[in-house]
């Protein structure tokens, strides 16, 4: 049926079978590691309703309070309300589509090494939450872009510090402009209101140019390092 919204996409291409834990059943232990192919699944099921669990041939009730059936604890383990007896069978399935869609779902924070939104064949590439309002893009386990938490001023651009941290900055060296598609006019301000050192933007020995007249406000300093020039036309 047609609908308005994002395309639904599951993070896993199929349901995932949980590793058999029945060999650890002893009638006393209630808490067990939940693994798929020997490792904790990423992302981990958000709520017990995301899994189908059977012990001794009986489907277990998902219960986030843990008073009946099973729940997940904060260590990403499965915890039963009653300890399974030795010899009882077990099977479990993560229901792939139940919580891993990109419409109206909450993802775990993730990390640089294990982003929370990732790809089947490239699980150290994706996005994770580095802090409150901070979204970070990772490629092959390396931070590529960590976005600012606020929107920039009109006509500002995102600028990198070389370590993947982005911040809003006023666009400089924008080139010629004009009416329509014209590229005729180079425009600059007429008043220096903030201290500035030639070469700050370029990060190397350089020359600078401006169209005058230029006024430098009282108490403001323009520094021209040795070997550099500022030409006012």
Domain residue ranges in the chain? 16-98, 117-170, 172-233
Tokens found for residue 86: 């030795």
Q: What is the mean pLDDT of residues 91-114?
A: 71
Nearest CA-CA partner of 129 in 104, 151, 144, 107: 107
The CA distance from 115 to 130, in Å, is: 10
Is pLDDT at 140 greater than 80 in this prediction?
yes
Q: What is the mean pLDDT of residues 147-174?
A: 81
The CA distance from 182 to 159, in Å, is: 27
Q: What are phi and psi of 176, to 5 degrees?
A: -75, 155
Encode pLDDT of 167-181 as tens digits: 888 766 566 777 887
Strand partners, 159: 167
**Up-side HSE of residue 97: CA atoms within 13 Å toward CB?**
4
Residue 47 confidence class, pLDDT cut points 50, 70, 90: confident
The CA-based angle 162-136-74, given to 5 degrees, is 140
The CA distance from 99 to 195, in Å, is: 53
Residue 156 confidence class, pLDDT cut points 50, 70, 90: confident
In this prediction, residue 136 carries a pLDDT of: 92
Q: What is the mean pLDDT of residues 109-116?
A: 86
Encode pLDDT of 13-33 as tens digits: 557 899 999 999 999 999 999
Omega within 30 of 0 (cis) for the link into 169 = no
Strand partners, 170: 156
The CA distance from 58 to 31, in Å, is: 18
Residue 157 confidence class, pLDDT cut points 50, 70, 90: confident
Encode pLDDT of 207-228 as tens digits: 888 999 999 999 999 999 999 9
Residue 105 confidence class, pLDDT cut points 50, 70, 90: low
Contact indicator for 208, 198 with CB cutoff of 8 Å:
yes
In this prediction, residue 45 carries a pLDDT of: 83
The CA distance from 18 to 55, in Å, is: 13
Contact indicator for 59, 92 with CB cutoff of 8 Å:
no
Q: To the nearest whole number, what is the mean pLDDT of the chain?
A: 84
In this prediction, residue 88 carries a pLDDT of: 97
In this prediction, residue 21 carries a pLDDT of: 97
């Amino acid at each position: 049926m047609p609908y308005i919204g994002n395309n639904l996409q599951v993070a896993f291409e199929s349901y995932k079978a949980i590793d058999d834990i029945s060999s650890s059943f002893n009638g006393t232990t209630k808490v067990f590691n939940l693994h798929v192919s020997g490792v904790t699944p990423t992302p981990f099921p958000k709520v017990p309703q995301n899994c189908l669990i059977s012990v001794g041939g009986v489907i277990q009730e998902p219960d986030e309070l843990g008073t009946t059936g099973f729940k997940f604890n904060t260590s990403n383990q499965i915890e039963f309300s009653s300890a399974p007896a030795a010899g009882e069978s077990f099977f479990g399935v993560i229901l792939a589509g139940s919580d891993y869609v990109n419409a109206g779902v909450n993802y775990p924070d993730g990390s640089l090494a294990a982003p929370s939104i990732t790809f089947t064949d490239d699980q150290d590439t994706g996005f994770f939450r580095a802090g409150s309002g901070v979204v970070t893009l990772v490629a092959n386990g390396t931070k590529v872009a960590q976005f600012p938490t606020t929107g920039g001023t009109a006509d500002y651009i995102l600028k990198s510090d070389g370590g993947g941290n982005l911040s809003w900055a006023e666009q400089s060296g924008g080139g010629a402009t004009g009416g329509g598609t014209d590229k005729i006019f180079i425009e600059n301000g007429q008043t220096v209101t903030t201290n500035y050192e030639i070469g700050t933007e370029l990060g190397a020995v350089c020359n600078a140019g401006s169209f005058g007249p230029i006024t430098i406000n009282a108490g403001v300093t323009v520094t021209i390092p040795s070997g550099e020039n500022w030409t006012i036309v």
